Structure 1
Amino acid sequence: MNSLIQNTQVTKTRKLVYTALLIALAFIGAQIKILGSIALDALPAFFAALLLGPVAGAAVGAIGHLLTAMTSGFPMSIPIHLVVMCTMAFICWLYGYLNNRINLIVNSTIAIILNGVGATYLSVLIMQLLGMIPTVKEFFFMLVGPLLLASTVNVLAAAVLYSLLKKRI
């Protein structure tokens, strides 16, 4: 019984250490900007979702986006970036939840579309509702390309790394 308790503690500690390491890597990715606050901070979050589960993925995703927004000077305003942070947390959570429930390629495709297109549309729609932009269409089409590119790079790199490392970790 005592060894079971110790093993559980080791597992919790290891998961916490991996999560902290992936948050640190998200900060590094936050410095690799594609456009404004669009960066490679999500790769560690998607990897965390696959390796450590949905909650760890959501935490790394939320913190990673917040770090990117902070180092970019919150270009779309703090409220919009808080919405994006929550959206990112949900998408990473879903990615981790669907892991081992559906094919990794299908799961990755869903994550890319939700993160690159869905989150973009939601953010732009909220910006219009708050009076920050006149119409959704122009701003959406300006952002969707770079966000879709970043999303594809982040998700596919995380999926490849997970496929290569899952049996070694």
Structure 2
Amino acid sequence: MKGKLVSGLAMLTALSVVGAMIKIPAIVGSVALDVFPALLASVLFGAGAGALVGVFGHLLSALIGGFPLGPLHFLIAGEMAVLVWVFGRLYKKNKILASTVFIIGNSFVAPLPFIYLMNIGFYLGIVPSLLIGSIINTVIAIVAIPRLSSLVAQGLSNRNVKQ
């Protein structure tokens, strides 16, 4: 069973790399479709697993974009882990609340430290791109989760499969 979990997380991390190559125009070139696999993982495999995929997905997206913010991407990866974890915990109770908290958190709250690290202009410039990216990533995840949940549940609980 752990092998199937690791394989699933590896596939979702690889999907993050593919999503990282699909950029959303922004002042900084690291807004991409790299987070929806983490949102999928947080619901399908657990909030902690989703947080790991979120960290690796963001760091790989930043690497593909040339690390435009340098080591600050590690701060962003930590924020992504928290947001994806919260999404995974809230999704089972209320999908709309989970989506709203993720979109607001990723678009408006997560970039707040950059007001102090960079300036207010950077914050105001990045928020519209983050908002669009967050909405697109969340919609993709919300559409895909119900379609994938039965497959994942069946695959993880099926003990009759020859290995």
Same fold (TM over 0.5): yes
Q: How high is the TM-score relative to the length of structure 1?
A: 0.83
Bigger radius of gyration among the two: 1
Q: Distance in 2 between matches of 1:168 and 1:81?
A: 33
Residue 158 (structure 1) aligned with residue 149 (structure 2):
no
- For structure 1, the 5+ residue unaligned runs are 1-9, 128-132
Q: How high is the TM-score relative to the length of structure 2?
A: 0.86
Residue 49 (structure 1) aligned with residue 42 (structure 2):
yes
Residue 117 (structure 1) aligned with residue 111 (structure 2):
no
Code of the aligned partner of 2:16: A
Matched pairs, number: 149
Q: CA RMSD in A?
A: 1.2
Q: Give CA deviations for 1:74-113 in whole Å, capped at 9, x if unaligned.
A: 11122x111001000111111112231x211111111111
In the TM superposition, what are the counterparts of 1:70-149 in structure 2 within 5 Å? 70-78=63-71, 80-100=72-92, 102-122=93-113, 124-127=114-117, 133=118, 135-136=119-120, 138-149=121-132
CA contact (8 A) 2:36 2:141 kept: yes
Which residue in the other structure is 1:27 paired with?
17
SS in 1 for 2:115: helix
Q: Give CA deviations for 1:23-52 in whole Å, capped at 9, x if unaligned.
A: 000011111111301111001011111111
Runs of 4+ in 1 over 2 A off after TM superposition: none
